[in-house]
Amino acid sequence: MKKILICNRGEIAIRVAKAIRELGHIAVGFYTDSEPEASHLEYCHEWVHLKGSSNTETYLNIEQIVELIKLHKIDAVHPGYGFLSENTEFCKRLEELGTIFIGPHSDAIHKMGDKAVSKQMAKEAGVPVVPGSTGEIDSAEEAASIAKDIGYPVLLKAVAGGGGKGMRVVNDESELSKSFDAVRREALSSFGNPGVLVEKFIVNPHHIEVQIIADNNGNIFHCYERECSIQRRHQKIVEEAPSPFIGSDEELRLDVCNTAIKLAKAVNYNSAGTVEFIMGEDKSFYFLEMNTRIQVEHPITEEITGIDLLVNMIKSALGEPLDFSSQEEISIKGHAIECRVCAEDPITMLPAPGQVNGFEYTFPQGIRFDHCIYNGLEVKSDFDPMIGKLIGYGHNRNVVIRKLDNALDGLLIEGLKTNVPLHKVILKEENFKKGLYTTNYIGEVAPQEGVEATKDVESLYKKAIAIEMNALQEGRGK
């Protein structure tokens, strides 16, 4: 039995705790001064006080966390996603302490954590990369000369970026110098590293990513792809597996998956991770980045493959064999879609913190809801606004859309704004229903413009129920 510390909060802390319990280990969770009753604590065997309120004082505070690891004799640490999950220094400190980091070795995090370095590595491994600079660029002039070669539009990207931040599309040379300075500034303030690269902006693309799972003995497997092209501000909001764009093109599917394995092998990958690609209209695809951690959208892969990624990630770190021993044992059955439930305005899609004062749900068969919501939950602006993930699984894509649509009707989160009304519009929208969408979907199809109408129907429905209740009470009174 190992004592495993979860260095995270929210829905992913609960997901990790469930996997730890399933394997019979001891789940240790943090509580902070600002979240003394975090919902993940209910799933943990032991609770540890992580002093402070802000993220820098708590979940990003390596010194305090290392002290607590020593004090509580922790055997292994799961970092979740975000926070310290891709922090080389943290991983190295644990390696020095002899505490197991449930993730890849620090060298893989280091190499894949920098978009310029990882691109170079991918190139050397024979993985296609987006045309552009091979490393960081030092000036707007350098960017301009590369842009002249590859052609506009181009994308300026922070090498240390993540979460869709630190990126800017440039349409012609006149915008270049202003955008270059802006991305550099944002990169320095958000990621503490001003490095920028320039690459071709692929038009009408698809975000296709491959799930990797590897053990500690050099065995690397893929669990097929996910399509995450429905995005706002370069951040995913709906993901599905398998990809409707790849569809029944099995040759392409295998090509993408084997390309991901090639890169994972090049860094001796030894955990769960994701290789992200951008795929053009002509199905040519290029490496974007590798996320060396468990990803938000991992559940859809778990649904279609039947593989528990968290459990296998933990087993891998503990040096145990995975639940399977050959690639042939991993296959796709059915379809899965995930809707990220965020505390945000469904029309502007901007964070809308607040307090939950009502929470109920009734779901059809085939629905999984990974969340951290409870009546009274306060969603603060310091954290990511994502509070849950509604995951539908079924025989085929149409079945899943129907189930999710029903599930969204059965999900009531009161007291704050959520993007549930936006998801309802997307699931009913013709292009989405046909599986015809690119990363331009939100910008071009603008489902958010359809949100008002849905809201009206809802308020009419609520009014009708109120009238009915009144009549009932009056009837009883008489």
Residues that bind Mg ion (CB under 5 A): 276
CA distances from 304 to 213, 272, 377 (A): 15, 17, 31
Report, in Å, the least distance between residue 103 CB and ligand ADP: 13
How many residues contact ligand ADP, by CB under 6 A? 29
Q: Is 201 in the site for ligand ADP (CB under 6 A)?
A: yes
Q: What is the DSSP letter of 436?
A: -
Q: Which does 11 bind (CB under 5 to 8 A by kind): ligand ADP, Mg ion, none?
A: none
Find the helix or strand (DSSP H, E) in which 412 lies: strand 411-414
- The tokens describing 219, both together, are 């065995």
> Binds 32, which of ligand ADP, Mg ion, none (CB < 5 to 8 A, cut-off by type)?
none
- Regarding 231 and contact with ligand ADP (CB under 6 A), the answer is yes
Active site residue 293: yes
**Region near ligand ADP per CB under 6 A, out of 284-292, 330-338, 359-367, 394-402:** 284-292
* CB neighbour list of residue 410: distance below 8 Å, 6 or more residues apart: 361, 362, 363, 364
8 Å CB contact between 299 and 244: no
**What is the C-alpha separation between 445 and 426, in angstroms, rounded?**
9
Q: Based on CB atoms, which residue is closest to Mg ion, 39 or 118? A: 118
Question: Which member of 126, 128, 135, 164 binds ligand ADP (CB under 6 A)?
Answer: 164
Query: What are phi and psi for residue 379, nearest 5 degrees?
Result: -95, 115
| Residues 201, 11: Cα–Cα separation, whole Å | 33
Q: How far is the CB of 228 from Mg ion (least distance, A)?
A: 8
Q: Which stretch binds ligand ADP (CB under 6 A): 19-27, 155-163, 320-328, 404-412?
A: 155-163
CA distance 277 to 279: 6
Write down the least CB distance from residue 291 to Mg ion, Å: 6
Judge whether 403 and 366 are in contact, CB under 8 Å.
yes
By a kind-dependent CB cut-off of 5 to 8 A, residue 370 interacts, out of Mg ion, ligand ADP, none, with none
Q: Which stretch binds ligand ADP (CB under 6 A): 104-112, 229-237, 372-380, 440-448?
A: 229-237
167-170 β-sheet, strand order: 167-170, 154-158, 196-200
Catalytic residue, from 293, 340, 368, 397: name it.
293
Helices (H), 151-199: 173-191
Residue 338 makes contact with ligand ADP by CB under 6 A: no
| 8: contact with ligand ADP by CB under 6 A | no
Helix, coil or strand: residue 394: strand
Interface residue list for ligand ADP (CB under 6 A): 81-82, 130, 155, 161-164, 167, 199-202, 205, 207, 231, 234-236, 276, 278, 288-289, 291, 295-297, 384, 439
